[in-house]
Chains A and B, each alone.
Chain A
Amino acid sequence: MDLAQLFDPAIFPVLAADGLTNGAVYALLSLALVLVFAVTRVIFVAQGEFVSFGALTLASLQLGKVPGTLWLVLALLAISAVVEGISQLRQGQGRRAGMVLLSALGISAGLWALLTWLAPLKLALPLQVLLTLLLVVPLGPMTYRLTFMPLREASTLVLLIAAVSLHLILSGLGLAFFGAEGSRTPAFAEGQITLGQVQLSAQSLVTILVSAVLMLALYFFFDRTLAGKALRATAVNRLGARLSGISPVRAGYVSFTLAAAIGALSGLLIGPSTPLSYDSGFLIGLKGFVGAIVGGLVSYPVAALGALLVGLLESFASFSFSAWKEVIVFGLILPVLLWRSLTTRHAEEEE
């Protein structure tokens, strides 16, 4: 193996650019993971499924087909509405229960009509992207409602087992909806751009730019808006937040919505360069995880940097030892954990 090749001026920039492109997406995912963990204590292993659902939903729309995601959304909507309706009835809120059921019915009918009308028309890419988000983003709050909200007093361990179960459910459904074949989604920009020595595909540039803009937007949201501060407050002190009138359940909904949106967008960003199948989102999500773990699941900037590092490492590893790429990337977690275990004071936990 000639490692020296890696540093060949013709190859190094290409690998670095590749690594940065994927790393930017992993960084986005790692931010969502840290957010969800901080607010709800859920280690959201199923985040990656939103990535595949995003890309594969768009791929279906490209073919003029109604994406299977629609049926999942309708099913989850029905179950959520029934569960929510029952819980309202138990609190003696008969009218509210009726409202929940009726609005769920209305939304379902509307979504169904919209998709069966628009999907065959093969609309322009930006409109298809909007439709994709319209289908994938609601999966976040609905999975929260059905899986994690009833378990919100449970230990981190129980929440993790639930998250892993959810991953299996969603990836199994992904297989049923989209088949085992991978699909590539269209690029948002065509062509190559030359920046000094480096040749960069326009799509890479778009990916990096969009990721950067989203990260800035997240920063602005957390730092400047009351809703963003409320999320941070819930993460810092749950009881304090409740006593200030901030509902942790609502914070849970918001963070899962953000996680689904970030996941779906990541899928759309990465889809043009890597063909995605129903199970590849999981691996992508886990690479975000390695980044999040570098940040100890608490620090946003360290998580993002860690994820960028994962992207770069993966890119160089796939050039030199392509068969061992995953082993190297996931093996990285061990020295990272060793380093964390030696540097952080181990905290007492009560389960």
Chain B
Amino acid sequence: MSLLSVQDLHVNYGRVEALHGVSLEVGAGQIVSVIGPNGAGKTTLLSALAGVLPSRGTALYQGEALSSLSVEERVRRGLVMVPEKRELFGSMTVADNLLLGSYSRRSRSQVGTDLENIYARFPRLLERRKQLAGTLSGGEQQMLAIGRALMTAPKLLMLDEPSLGLAPIIVREIFKIVESLRASGVTVLLVEQNARAALACSDHGYVLETGDVKLSGPAQQLADDPAVTSAYLGSQES
């Protein structure tokens, strides 16, 4: 059964429609990636699923309709987004940022253990736990953003361009983390411009272009599809 099932999702910015009826399925325990060139609507899709942007269409999460739920209520149910801009609390410490991730959890008993697990997963954050989040490097900020999201005890983690602006060595590290999330039982919906790396770690993939799903299929199959390359680098007429 799908953890998240989206049918015919439309999103408007004012009069302008940015998503023209997107449908996708995310099965429990999977890593599903949404790839596509910039301006395709990937960030819009995740923001709509997180409740940050209003949308039309049906989105069922654990069988429940998302439309009437606020961002915070979705977080409480385990549907959590790590946004492209990370949106950390820059003037607060790393430890406080992580702690605030646990804000909406009813049971506090697991919080301490989870914090330890996150520090074990990201030793850099442990080193810098008393530092202000705004002073971290780009890669560390991304780790902190993922760490804060993990503190909410997510069931479905939606990552928006986690490799954005990061050096290749850190990008590899980030993708290792994404794969390890699946092992710990978290389902991942991954939006990426870095198509090869995203497809390499995914089960299933969707290619988004100008607000529509152009291709979809098992990740391995998409990785070999020449249509994906042309979606990114363009084709020259004449």
Contact = CB atoms under 8 A, between A and B. Distances in A.
Given A232-B89, A237-B90, A244 B76 contact: no
Interface string B61-80: 00000001011100110001
A232 B100 CA distance: 10
> Chain B: interface residue count, which band?
20 to 34
Interface string A240-258: 1111111100000000000
A134 interface: no
Contacts of B82: 243
B89 A243 contact: no
B103 interface: yes
A350 to B, nearest CB: 15
Nearest to B71: A242
A226 B99 contact: yes
B75 A244 contact: yes
A236 B86 CA distance: 13
Contacts of A246: 72, 100, 103-104
B89 A245 contact: no
A240 B89 contact: yes
A243 B75 contact: yes
Contacts of A236: 89-92
> Chain A: interface residue count, which band?
10 to 19
A239 interface: yes
A84 to B, nearest CB: 15
Interface in A136-193: none
Interface string A215-244: 000000000001001101100110111111
B72 A242 contact: yes
Contact of A243 (B71, B92, B96): B71
Interface in B164-218: none
B134 to A, nearest CB: 9
Contacts of B50: 243
Nearest to A230: B103
Contacts of B151: 244
Interface string B115-155: 00000000000000000000000000000000011011000
A194 interface: no
A204 to B, nearest CB: 36
Nearest to A232: B92
A21 to B, nearest CB: 33
Given A242-B72, A244-B152, A233 B83 contact: no
B88 interface: yes
21 contacts: A229-B96, A232-B89, A233-B96, A236-B90, A236-B92, A237-B87, A237-B88, A239-B52, A240-B87, A241-B89, A242-B52, A242-B72, A243-B149, A244-B75, A244-B100, A244-B103, A245-B103, A245-B152, A246-B103, A246-B104, A247-B70
Interface of A: 91-92, 226, 229-230, 232-233, 236-237, 239-247
Given A229-B99, A243-B82, A247-B72, 20 more contacts: A91-B68, A226-B99, A226-B102, A232-B89, A232-B92, A233-B89, A233-B96, A233-B100, A236-B89, A236-B91, A237-B87, A239-B87, A240-B86, A240-B89, A242-B70, A243-B71, A243-B87, A244-B100, A244-B152, A245-B103
Interface of B: 50, 52, 68, 70-72, 75-76, 80-83, 86-92, 96, 99-105, 148-149, 151-152
